[in-house]
Each structure stands twice: as C-alpha cells, then as structure tokens.
Amino acid sequence: MTVSSHGNSGNEEKGKIKMYGLGVLKGMVVTLGHFVDTYVDDIRWLSSKYVSPEKKAYRQSTKGKGLFTVQYPDEKLNIPERFRYIPFLIYEEKDGKHEDRCTSCGICAKVCPPQCIWIVRTNDAVTNRPIPQPKEFYIDTDICMNCGYCAEYCPFDAIKMDHNFELASFDRTTAHIYDKAKLDRPLSYYASLRPTDYAAEEKARAEEEAKKAAKKAAAAAAPAAKS
C-alpha cells in the first residue's frame, strides 16, 4: 500500500508507507502463546485450576497465563471484598431482639440516581411523631444500577451492597421487587462479606461513642466542681 502526502508550502513531498501485515502476525503470535500456555497450565494444575482458593488467586493474579475465561456457572472466580451489587438492610440482634439500623430518614431514596428505592414511614399512634423505623422498604432490582450511593450516604451504616449477583428469574413483575423481608440481613452477614470495612466502621463507631461518653461525663462533673 502506498500513500502520497502533499505539504502546504507547495513543495510536493511524497512518503511511502508499506504494510506487510507484521502487526497481524504479532497479534497471532500473542494468541498462540496464550493457547500454548493454557495447556501448560492445565498440566501444571492437573486440570483443576478453579478448585482451591490458592489456584483461583493465581489465575486472577499477574502470574496467571493462558486462557483467562472460566466455565461459568460450573466455575466461578473469587469475588473481591468491595464488589457491590443489590443493596441490603442491616439489623442488629440485641438481647434476642431484631433492631433495624435504618431510621427511614429517606436519604438513600433521595440520592438514588434511578429512583428505585421506596420507603413507607409510620407515625406513633400516641405522639403522632415519626417512628424511626421503616414499615416497608422496597428496591426494584431491575432499575437499580448498583452504584452504591445509598450505602455511601447513609449516616447510620444501615444499608450496604451485597455480593449476590445471581438474581435471574422468569418473573419480572414481583420477583425483582425486593421488600424489607428480602433485604434484611444481620450485621454478622455484612461482617463476613466485608471484614475490612466492617472493622474500620466499628472502630470509628466505638471512638465516637467514647467521645460522647467523655463529653457526658465532663458535663456531669462540671456542677460538682463548681460546688
């Protein structure tokens, strides 16, 4: 292939670019290398690449060679700790009681870009004040874009992102509308999914509680000191 180019100065300059297909050949060599490495790895791991966590970690690292695809759903790669999918609600179990962290403040619903969160609030029958607990909580999983804004903005760490992505079904009308019963998860579940984040959040929570306790103790000691 020959390409002629003309300069703006009026002096005709001709440049020739010759293509011999070297780029295609180099790409085929790379492909051939991965093809061969795939069988070498099969022999090395005795055709059990994705059985143990150690072998999965090797395949996902920079040391892995050969074919990088997996035969899903028979083979599944390890999910990173901060992988995010459909949100879920956290509740704590204190003295055998189910205590929701969610106060139905509605911040998650307000910041949600596709507006897939619906919260039903209730008022106390005696005081007529809002009850700091959602009566109903719905998320349309077909609309949810898994951005994590709800978990990021929640001031009470009451909503987090799940790892479960296998949610396909044949019913889009009801099966993909998650209510509070489907969204509720114990705090221990979140701790098992994201141990690093859980430890950091609990540390920050303990420090905040210690500050409040110290401030309260100082306020109680002030009148005694004056007298």
Indicate if 103 and 192 belong to the same structural domain.
yes
Domain with 40 in it: 24-74
pTM of the shown model: 0.72
Indicate if 195 and 117 belong to the same structural domain.
yes
Indicate if 97 and 146 belong to the same structural domain.
yes
Which parts of the chain register pLDDT below 70? 1-19, 47-52, 224-227
The most distant pair of C-alpha atoms in the chain lies apart, rounded to whole Å, by: 101
Residue 154 lies in a domain: yes
Q: What is the pLDDT of residue 51?
A: 64
Residue 150 lies in a domain: yes
129's CB contacts (< 8 A; 6+ apart) are 123
Q: Which of 186, 159, 135 is nearest to 86 (CA)?
A: 159
Q: In sequence order, what E strands does 141-211 have?
A: 159-161, 177-178, 184-186
Q: What is the pLDDT of residue 106?
A: 93
The first and second tokens of residue 115, run together, are 């507006």
Residue 80 lies in a domain: no
Q: What is the pLDDT of residue 13?
A: 52
* SS3 (DSSP) at 116: coil
Q: What is the pLDDT of residue 158?
A: 95
* SS3 (DSSP) at 89: strand
- Where residue 128 sits, what CATH number does that domain have? 3.30.70.3270
Indicate if 189 and 144 belong to the same structural domain.
yes
Q: What is the pLDDT of residue 63?
A: 79
Q: What is the pLDDT of residue 218?
A: 84
Q: How far apart are CA 111 and CA 115, in angstroms?
A: 8
